Amino acid sequence: MKTYLRILSYARPFGRFVPTYIFYTLFSIIFGLINFTLLKPLFDVIFEQVEPATLEQYRTLPPFSFSVEYFTGLFNHFFLTVQDDYGKMGTLVFVCIIIVISVFLSNLFTYLSGVVLAKVRATVIKGMRMDIFNKVGTLHIGYFSNERKGDLMSKMTNDVQEVENTIVQSLRVVFREPATIILYFSVLFFMSVKLTLFTILIIPISGAIIGGITRRLKKRAVQSQQSLGRIANILDETLGGMRVIKAFNAERFIAEKFDEETDYYSHVNVSMARKNELASPISQFLGVSVVAGILVYGGSLVLSGESDLGASDFITYIIIFTQVLNPAKEISRAVSSIQRGIASAERIFEVINTKTQIEAPTNPKPISGFHEAIEFDQVSFGYEDKLVLRNVNFKLERGKTIALVGPSGGGKSTLADLVPRFYDPTSGSIRLDGTDIRDFSPSDLRSLMGIVTQESILFNDTVFNNIAFGIENATEEQVIEAAKIANAHGFISQLENGYQTSIGERGSKLSGGQRQRLSIARAVLKNPPILILDEATSALDSESELLVQEALTKLMNNRTTLVIAHRLSTIQHADEILVIEQGQIVQRGSHSDLMAVDGLYQKLSSIQSV
């Protein structure tokens, strides 16, 4: 129930929808009820069941009072007037006209209430989608290393869709059907208290049986959505790694893996369908059994003269009661399907409830720019129980370049990720111009930095939009100038539509060197005072590396730069080189200083020169 109410909270403020929906729904039910209550006077006329004394009473217009008796007497008065003027046939036509009008109004108000619910559904789903999307944007980088991307995508698409299909769709059932049952039972009580009490004693048996079935659905629903997430993950990995799959003839392996998961998904859903489909026929069977019980019990009372109902009253009673069965059936069906939606909602809220590890301070300090230095003071960092960096100390002064080198897995990229606060240190502090970077807003801090990584992160958009990414109101002249500095203008001009050419998913239409130069152009356009270059040339061929390195040299000019380098030849002119091994700085100095010492740097240099 808590999860269900949380879903509904996305429709706030409720005042926009609830009063209107209640108004339309109540009138829809009332006009629907009128259709069946008109059957009694119709039967009375046809079967001539009305006593002469009662007829005389109906000839007098009743005094006004806000009560059921007044409206019943008013209807009977006009009904009798029509009968006197037009006979039985005229009365039949009169009743049929009223029934047609009330059916039209009932359906009109049903339609209007459905429109209101559509607005509620759209509001809820949009709010939920934006909530999970915005939450994912605030999570730290490490979260995405631990979570399957396919499962996250499944939560943001399939699970939200499941909530829409089951939970939000059931809103009509949650209010309309109980209201229908209450109003119909009010009429039934008005007609016969004894008979209605008898039906109320039988109905809970049906509810208890159906409740037992639906309680078992939630576990299967969770398994189903988890399996769907794994299917999405396999698809994502397959489409992204198709080149490798074909190169290693692994199509059969991937197909078997996919077949195994889809087989499990099918098994779980068939199991759910068995239980889900069982609710409706059981509800219908028990409902018909109740009607049969009423016919036996109520019919015996009428025949023996012990009932306060006449023959026409009893027939009308049975007809009205059968209309209660449909909303009861809808409720049982909704309760069973809601379990699946609840399971999906809980998976969504699992992401939304994830605590953001990188939080902005309540009162962040303003940043006017970068003026002095970035300083690491006894910085250590660990993933869970594994320590990656240990007591790192260095100072990167404004306008200087520091290079990080060392064996793979030593902690170089992790150290660079600490500067823009993709992670926070486990201990120690990082200070920018003497202030701990945790005292700044992450967005303000990152506005000072440009990052170029080994993998060029581009988007399925135009060249122009990829270079101008994150820069509001960038002009064509500014973008072209940035591309020229990044040695990218030449190849861009030769593209089919120039700067308006779409580059495909992750820049798939471009070569590795071209993609990297676009990333550099993006950093140039941002014009940040601090640069972080994470092995920006390591994955390129010699020709591309030369062009990219030239672009990087232009980019680094008069900027403070932290460089992670795999090829030592690219960082020989750095002001200081830090050699990192197993999370610690084991050597530091200029290229010539480190080459003069028998150590790890000299060893790495000799290996690369072979």
335-359 per-position pLDDT tens digit? 666 777 787 888 888 888 888 777 8
Residue that has been written with the tokens 């002064």 in this structure: 397
**3-state SS of the chain: helix, strand, coil percent to 5?**
65, 10, 25
Do 224 and 341 lie in one domain? The reply is yes
Do 448 and 564 lie in one domain? The reply is yes
Tell which of 294, 320, 352 closes a domain: 352
Do 268 and 299 lie in one domain? The reply is yes
Phi, psi of 537 (to 5 degrees): -120, 0
| pLDDT band with cut points at 50, 70 and 90 for residue 375 | very high
For residue 331, give the nearest of 219, 211, 186, 434 by alpha carbon.
211
The answer to whether the CB of 168 falls within 8 A of the CB of 120 is: yes
Q: Which of 129-143, 318-332, 584-598 has the highest mean pLDDT?
A: 584-598
Do 215 and 76 lie in one domain? The reply is yes
Return the pLDDT at 594.
Answer: 87
Residue 358 lies in a domain: no
Return the pLDDT at 377.
Answer: 92
Residue 368 lies in a domain: no
Do 272 and 381 lie in one domain? The reply is no
Phi, psi of 66 (to 5 degrees): -80, 80
Return the pLDDT at 255.
Answer: 82
- The CA-CA-CA angle for residues 212, 217, 221, to 5°, reads 170
Do 155 and 13 lie in one domain? The reply is yes
Q: Positive or negative, the Cα torsion across 570, 552, 449, 135?
A: negative
Instruction: HSE, CB side, 13 Å, CA atoms: give it for residue 499.
Output: 18
Q: What is the mean pLDDT of residues 479-506?
A: 86
The answer to whether the CB of 379 falls within 8 A of the CB of 573 is: no
Given a cut of 80, is residue 303 above it in pLDDT? no
Residue 177 lies in a domain: yes
Return the pLDDT at 393.
Answer: 92
Given a cut of 80, is residue 176 above it in pLDDT? no
Task: Answer with the residue of higher pLDDT: 132 or 171.
Answer: 132
Residue 314 lies in a domain: yes
- Angle between helical axes of 311-352 and 68-138 (0-180°, round to 10): 20
| pLDDT band with cut points at 50, 70 and 90 for residue 40 | low
Instruction: Return the SS3 of 564.
Output: strand
**What's the number of domains the chain is made of?**
2
Given a cut of 80, is residue 171 above it in pLDDT? no
| pLDDT band with cut points at 50, 70 and 90 for residue 202 | low
Q: What is the mean pLDDT of residues 451-477?
A: 83
Do 387 and 318 lie in one domain? The reply is no
Do 433 and 482 lie in one domain? The reply is yes
CB atoms within 10 A of CB 178: 13
Q: What is the mean pLDDT of residues 149-174?
A: 75
Q: What is the mean pLDDT of residues 372-382?
A: 91
Q: Which residues contact 328 (CB under 8 A, 6 or more apart)?
A: 177, 181, 203, 206, 283, 287
Do 309 and 418 lie in one domain? The reply is no
Q: What is the mean pLDDT of residues 24-30?
A: 84
Question: CATH number for the domain including 553?
Answer: 3.40.50.300
Q: What is the residue range of 228's domain? A: 2-352
The answer to whether the CB of 356 falls within 8 A of the CB of 140 is: yes
| pLDDT band with cut points at 50, 70 and 90 for residue 15 | confident
Do 200 and 71 lie in one domain? The reply is yes
Supply the mean pLDDT for the chain.
Answer: 78
Return the pLDDT at 35.
Answer: 66
Give dist(CA 359, CA 135) in Å, integer.
Answer: 12
Instruction: HSE, CB side, 13 Å, CA atoms: give it for residue 247.
Output: 5
Task: Answer with the residue of higher pLDDT: 374 or 330.
Answer: 374
Task: Answer with the residue of higher pLDDT: 241 or 112.
Answer: 112
Return the pLDDT at 243.
Answer: 62
Do β-strands 427-432 and 435-436 pair in parallel, antiparallel, or remain unpaired?
A: antiparallel
Return the pLDDT at 489.
Answer: 87
- Angle between helical axes of 193-214 and 171-191 (0-180°, round to 10): 160
Residue 365 lies in a domain: no
Instruction: HSE, CB side, 13 Å, CA atoms: give it for residue 234.
Output: 17
Q: What is the mean pLDDT of residues 514-543?
A: 78
Least confident window among 50-59, 236-245, 468-477: 50-59
Do 380 and 276 lie in one domain? The reply is no
CB atoms within 10 A of CB 132: 21
Give dist(CA 158, CA 161) in Å, integer.
Answer: 5
Alpha helices in 52-192 (DSSP H): 52-59, 68-138, 141-146, 149-154, 160-163, 171-191
Residue 422 lies in a domain: yes
User: Of all residues in the chain, what percent carry a pLDDT higher than 70?
Assistant: 79
Question: CATH number for the domain including 341?
Answer: 1.20.1560.10
Return the pLDDT at 205.
Answer: 61
Tell which of 294, 319, 352 closes a domain: 352
Task: Answer with the residue of higher pLDDT: 128 or 318.
Answer: 128
Query: 432 burial class (0-12, 13-18, 19+ CB within 10 angstroms)?
Result: buried
Alpha helices in 9-51 (DSSP H): 18-37, 39-46
- The CA-CA-CA angle for residues 309, 310, 313, to 5°, reads 75
Do 518 and 417 lie in one domain? The reply is yes
Q: What is the mean pLDDT of residues 224-229?
A: 73
For residue 467, give the nearest of 551, 566, 577, 347 by alpha carbon.
551
Q: Positive or negative, the Cα torsion across 406, 407, 413, 414?
A: negative
Given a cut of 70, is residue 477 above it in pLDDT? yes
User: Of all residues in the chain, what percent carry a pLDDT higher than 90?
Assistant: 5
Given a cut of 70, is residue 529 above it in pLDDT? yes
Reported pTM: 0.66
| Residue 62, preceding peptide bond in cis (omega within 30° of 0) | no
Q: What is the mean pLDDT of residues 217-227?
A: 68
Q: Which residues contact 362 (CB under 8 A, 6 or more apart)?
A: none
CB atoms within 10 A of CB 379: 20
Residue 367 lies in a domain: no
Six-digit token string for 195:
């008979």
Tell which of 320, 352, 384 closes a domain: 352
Residue 506 lies in a domain: yes
Q: What is the mean pLDDT of residues 330-339?
A: 69
Given a cut of 80, is residue 93 above it in pLDDT? no
